[in-house]
Structure 1
Amino acid sequence: MDAAAEPLLPQPATALDHLGRPVSRHTTDRWTAAVFIIGVEISERFAFGGISGNLINYLTGPLGQSTASAAAAINAWSGAALMLPLLGAAVADSWLGRYRTIISASLLYILGLGMLTLSSIFVLQQPAQFGDNMGSSASWMGIHLAFFYVSLYIVACAQGGHKPCVQAFGADQFDENDPEECASRSSFFNWWYFGAYGANIITVSILNYIQDNISWQFGFGIPCIAMSVSLAIFWLGTKKYRFYPPVSSKGLFENIGKSLLAWIRCWCASWYPKSSDESHFATTSSFKGDKYNRETKYLSDDAVAVLKLLPIGATCLIYAVVFAQWMTLFTKQASTLDRWIGTLQVPAATLQSLISVSIVVFVPIYDRILIPLAKKYSKNTCGITTLQ
């Protein structure tokens, strides 16, 4: 079969290979590429979870902070880590593309984790170096805390580039316009979570034990090594990937901002007419419908998509409030429990893995039992829609 006869992916979003050539379904391996990307996510979640899960114990232990101040610092950092993917996604979609953003974020991850490892070594050197000199010790502690938090926020920035791109890049390997690939794409998301959380049940628990009982240097250094391996795995799969170029040369935020500004001006003008005739006309239903049409035409597709996300984001706020307790209050409460199993004391942060256990148990049931049953009745290749 010659290249011209091969079934290329649909326009206008034609996928390219690593050399910039249009790809066919015969030259890219969907699940092979997805396995590489899932492997990257496992390493990244291990690194981030290994740092964030036990952070409260590091701040209240070696760094000597109070529980209240440590929890406030972690909540601020966690909030930044959850918001930065918005920026990372915009950079990827408008400038770098997902592949290059993942590479850049991985390098930034390695830098931040390396700095965290170095900062944990500084804690050991402080008492021996300064002895009873409280002024010098306080100054050194201030410098160390600044270095530590810079390192921590570098990790947050790296996660902001990694999180929105890796999963989306994995979905790019499946053509949603092809029924067979669309079904595989839906299944990909299920096994994505199964791999990411399933691996972390064991790996993060082991890492928490190392942090609590051996050393924080190894506890921070091992995630740094994991991210280095993750980057190597991701690079090895380059020839198997489908690439989509950035969608626009203009900034995403610029497009959205201009569209929303134009919409607001139109909305204000339509609700405050200049003449009495216009005021009377504004009360009629036909004018209101026409007004709505005039307003929405100013909104770009990006702006409309953002507006549609607002209700979803609002409903997630309650979940975010509960989730914020996971890394702070939940872990500190767990530290008060009797966690001995024979001669082994289970790390307090390991109890967070109960969330991962529930995901690992439910994903196979959902993917292999519930979805096949749903397909019989819904006639949908994915079983049920995302909204359903």
Structure 2
Amino acid sequence: MCLLTLAVSLPSLKPPPCHLDNIADCKKASTLQLGVFFCGLYILAVGTGGTKPNISTIGADQFDDFEPKERAHKLSFFNWWMFSIFFGILFANTVLVYIQDNVGWTLGYGLPTLGLAISVAIFLAGTPFYRHKLPSGSPFTRMARVIVAALSKWRVPLPNDPKELYELDLEEYARKHKFRIDSTPSLRFLNKAAVKTDLDSPWTLCPVTQVEETKQMLRMIPILLATFIPSTMIAQVNTLFIKQGTTLKRHIGSSFKIPPASLVGFVTLTMLICVVIYDRCFVKVMRKWTKNPRGITLLQRMGIGLLIHIVIMLTASLTERHRLRVARDHGVVQNGGEVPLTIFVLLPQFMLMGVADSFLEVAKIEFFYDQAPEGMKSLGTSYSTTSLGIGNFLSSFLLSTVSHITEKHGHKGWILNNLNASHLDYYYAFFAILNVLNFIFFLIVVKLYVYKAEVTDSTEMIEGENGKLALSASNHEVSSI
């Protein structure tokens, strides 16, 4: 952020000002200016990739699973974590955008830079007071060892009794305040990594707990795949939804004109309201019916979000069909002129996206954290951010592919620069079909999914030694959607 602030502030690091009415006279940015600007963007991208999965993990790790009160509070952590994230987004989309457009880019970039500096100072000041979990090595290395060991023993038969598989002593897990996980029949081939032979080495023999941790990370991959399509829908908010807004009436009164991008604020605002209602009201009501501490399971919450995504794209398709009909009736199809329809006609699809986020996005990050094994929580949380990244790439791929295919054989195509002559209603209907198919895939995956079993006799030993309430197997979410 320091580099970006300098890039928009120092005259030597930014191109000379020019007027939009005479773009031909504008000078291009120099190699140095481009280098500083893109260097700042790349550093910011790397930093975001390192902080997003880890900060939420550190926050959730501050709650002790062996303390009933803290464990209860932890159930609400990700609701309020996402609340704070979206509150920051709302601030950026309103105050910072206004400052950048009306005051200047220097202050507009300088304020978030100052905010980051304060955040780093607070983080460092609080570090001595955080609960720190000792590193247990790279999760990728641990998983790779299991896979290599299983492949190297693919001809070795599995014992009939799982207790014959290699496992560390119970005292070692109790001493490290970690869970020991019993062997499960799913992904049975990987159990070969724990079969003892005479030629074992660190890369050919793994304890059962390590095998089960690898299984759990692999079991979550189908759920991860089911989140790609809804992540693609999120990308539409900042692209095609806003593009639609540029074609509509945006005047309020005689002078004020609504920026189309400001409608994104309704997504954030709706999400903030829904998160509060969900945490304070919905959970309490559902808890009485389901006896589940979360009200409903995480996968059920994700499923509701996926259903809302179907409704969003159907709503967007019908709204776009109405917009195109009004454009034809007023003869502004070919010239791409303003459609005499208020921009607020797009509000339903923006607000529904906020409702969907309060279900899907919160449940997604909490699910991947909760179901990831101890020592792999950051990797589990990174599944959520990976989903968003792939969704953006998938959005670009689908846009270009559909645009290219629909322009073949002399057709004018669904997606043109002139939206009044396009068929975004067909494109949104296509997305609705994708969401339906994705929801069916999600139901199949959920039906086969087995929730993490993280409790063994080691927790009983910890309870006996520390006098604390350990987790019990009966507390697990074993129901599916």
State the TM-score, normalizing by the size of structure 2.
0.46
Alignment CA distance shift 1:262-1:338 (3 Å): farther
1:258-288: CA deviation from partner (whole Å, max 9, x where unpaired): 3223334445x589xxxxxxxxxxxxxxxx9
Alignment CA distance shift 1:290-1:206 (3 Å): closer
1:297-351: CA deviation from partner (whole Å, max 9, x where unpaired): 4663442232022112100110222223333444444444444444444443322
Whichever structure has more helix as a proportion of its residues is: 1
2:9 corresponds, among 112, 118, 121, to: 121
Cα deviation for residue 170 of structure 1 reads 1.5
Q: For the Cα contact (< 8 Å) 1:182–1:382, is it kept in 2?
A: no
How far apart are the structure 1 equivalents of 2:15 and 2:87?
38
1:182 — aligned with what?
Answer: 71
Q: Does 1:369 align with 2:256?
A: no
2:21 — aligned with what?
Answer: none
Unmatched 5+ stretches in structure 1: 1-112, 272-287
Alignment CA distance shift 1:294-1:168 (3 Å): closer
How far apart are the structure 1 equivalents of 2:186 and 2:239?
50
Q: Higher relative CO (CA 8 A, sep ≥ 6), structure 1 or 2?
A: 1
Q: For the Cα contact (< 8 Å) 1:122–1:144, is it kept in 2?
A: no
Q: Does 1:224 align with 2:136?
A: no
1:147-173: CA deviation from partner (whole Å, max 9, x where unpaired): 222211111111112111221111122
Alignment of 1:279-318 (within 5 A): 292=189, 294-295=191-192, 297=194, 300-318=211-229
How far apart are the structure 1 equivalents of 2:17 and 2:187?
76
Cα deviation for residue 231 of structure 1 reads 1.9
2:161 — aligned with what?
Answer: none
Alignment of 1:121-200 (within 5 A): 121=9, 125-127=14-16, 140-200=29-89
SS state at 2:8 partner: helix
Alignment CA distance shift 1:295-1:325 (3 Å): farther
How far apart are the structure 1 equivalents of 2:186 and 2:286?
38
Cα deviation for residue 142 of structure 1 reads 3.5
Q: Does 1:262 align with 2:149?
A: yes
1:380 corresponds, among 292, 297, 306, to: 292
How far apart are the structure 2 equivalents of 1:237 and 1:291?
44
1:241 — aligned with what?
Answer: 130
1:12 — aligned with what?
Answer: none
Alignment CA distance shift 1:177-1:128 (3 Å): closer
Q: For the Cα contact (< 8 Å) 1:266–1:294, is it kept in 2?
A: no
Cα deviation for residue 384 of structure 1 reads 3.1
How far apart are the structure 1 equivalents of 2:38 and 2:220?
32
Alignment CA distance shift 1:165-1:118 (3 Å): same
Q: For the Cα contact (< 8 Å) 1:371–1:384, is it kept in 2?
A: yes
Alignment CA distance shift 1:289-1:344 (3 Å): closer
Alignment CA distance shift 1:254-1:264 (3 Å): same
Alignment CA distance shift 1:340-1:206 (3 Å): farther
Q: For the Cα contact (< 8 Å) 2:147–2:193, is it kept in 1?
A: no
Letter of the structure 1 residue corresponding to residue 268 of structure 2: S
Letter of the structure 2 residue corresponding to residue 219 of structure 1: G
Q: For the Cα contact (< 8 Å) 1:115–1:148, is it kept in 2?
A: yes
Q: For the Cα contact (< 8 Å) 1:193–1:359, is it kept in 2?
A: no
Q: Does 1:327 align with 2:214?
A: no
How far apart are the structure 1 equivalents of 2:186 and 2:56?
39
How far apart are the structure 2 equivalents of 1:244 and 1:188?
18
Q: Does 1:355 align with 2:267?
A: yes
Letter of the structure 2 residue corresponding to residue 373 of structure 1: V
Alignment CA distance shift 1:126-1:200 (3 Å): closer
Letter of the structure 1 residue corresponding to residue 67 of structure 2: D
1:100 — aligned with what?
Answer: none
Cα deviation for residue 289 of structure 1 reads 9.7
Q: For the Cα contact (< 8 Å) 1:372–1:383, is it kept in 2?
A: yes
Alignment CA distance shift 1:245-1:186 (3 Å): same
Alignment CA distance shift 1:216-1:331 (3 Å): farther
How far apart are the structure 1 equivalents of 2:118 and 2:246?
32
How far apart are the structure 1 equivalents of 2:139 and 2:87?
35
SS state at 2:238 partner: coil
Letter of the structure 1 residue corresponding to residue 148 of structure 2: L
Letter of the structure 1 residue corresponding to residue 6 of structure 2: L
Letter of the structure 2 residue corresponding to residue 382 of structure 1: R
Cα deviation for residue 184 of structure 1 reads 0.7
How far apart are the structure 2 equivalents of 1:289 and 1:337?
54
SS state at 1:244 partner: coil
SS state at 1:381 partner: coil
Alignment CA distance shift 1:178-1:380 (3 Å): farther
2:377 — aligned with what?
Answer: none
Q: For the Cα contact (< 8 Å) 1:182–1:381, is it kept in 2?
A: no
Percent identity (aligned)? 34
- Paired positions, count: 251
How far apart are the structure 2 equivalents of 1:335 and 1:354?
17
Letter of the structure 1 residue corresponding to residue 75 of structure 2: S
How far apart are the structure 2 equivalents of 1:289 and 1:329?
43
SS state at 1:175 partner: coil
Q: For the Cα contact (< 8 Å) 1:208–1:349, is it kept in 2?
A: no
